[in-house]
Amino acid sequence: MAIPIKDKEGIRRMRESCALAADILARLREQVRAGVTTYDLDQFGRELISAAGARSAPHGYTIGSRRYPAYTCLSVNEEVVHGIGSMKRVLRDGDIISLDVTIEYNGWIGDNAVTVAVGTPPPRTAELLKVTEEALHVGIRAAQVGNRIGDISAAIQQYVEARGFSIVREMVGHGVGRKMHEEPQIPNFTDRPRKRTDEIRPGMTLAIEPMVNQGRHEVRTLSDGWTVVTADGLPSAHFEHTVLTTDTGPEILTLPRAVTSLSSVSSI
């Protein structure tokens, strides 16, 4: 399938939705602390999204007969992605949590994620967060017009594995625009020659999102049908930006601004 190329109006709309998604993620991040449940965080995210006049893109997302029940994806420690907020999951000192916020605003998607430490995690887990965030920016720098999608994949994989961590194979980055998942798929590892991957052209909007495990790369899905966890039970980290490809280099669209419409939402 062809990779959607955004025109000037599409780019303007994507800038709006992505900046708003970044604002919401920044506000949600402020609420992360020991004693808070992931359900509380998800409901706070729901309120932020509603106050902004947006819609949660994952809420109600269907795969077969399964519908995603939460408004944000909140994944703690060994949970890689797609964690569902729960009153039973109370954050504790030393935990890490991935906050993944994806919204639809005026028909366009904004998608971003960050992994946050609760208090002081173990040193190796703190390093996992640092390396995963750095790998995201290594991948973004490779998203140059004229390069290939495989250049992004290779850059992320080489950076992560050189530091003793592993790349999740089952989930990948992706194009984003009017839909939450568009072409191309963007693996965080190389599975074919780069010349056989798509060429990067101006006007692509790409969700680049390394998912990195502290231990082995293998994962499994819990009985809820959504939450992906590491097979060995060790922590995983996830960082994501939506990026616009331009002739002058990649532009990160998911950078937060100060949005007064969100200030009326009370803290947890």
- The CATH number covering residue 180 comes to 3.90.230.10
What is the domain range of residue 85? 8-253
User: Are the beta carbons of 159 and 135 closer than 8 angstroms?
Assistant: yes
Tell me if 263 is assigned to some domain. no
User: Are the beta carbons of 237 and 124 closer than 8 angstroms?
Assistant: no
Helical ranges in 105-221 per DSSP H = 123-141, 149-161
DSSP structure class, residue 28: H
Q: Would the pTM of this model clear 0.85, i.e. be above it? A: yes
Tell me if 202 is assigned to some domain. yes
Q: What is the pLDDT along the chain (268 residues), one digit of tens a residue?
A: 789 999 999 999 999 999 999 999 999 999 999 999 999 999 999 999 999 999 999 999 999 999 999 999 999 999 999 999 999 999 999 999 999 999 999 999 999 999 999 999 999 999 999 999 999 999 999 999 999 999 999 999 999 999 999 999 999 999 999 999 999 999 999 988 888 999 999 999 999 999 999 999 999 999 999 999 999 999 999 999 999 999 999 999 999 986 555 666 878 8
How many domains, in total, are found in the chain?
1
Tell me if 266 is assigned to some domain. no
Joined together, the tokens standing for residue 175 give 């194009």
At 191 the pLDDT is 82
Angle at 113 between CA 107 and CA 119, to 5 degrees: 145
Tell me if 262 is assigned to some domain. no
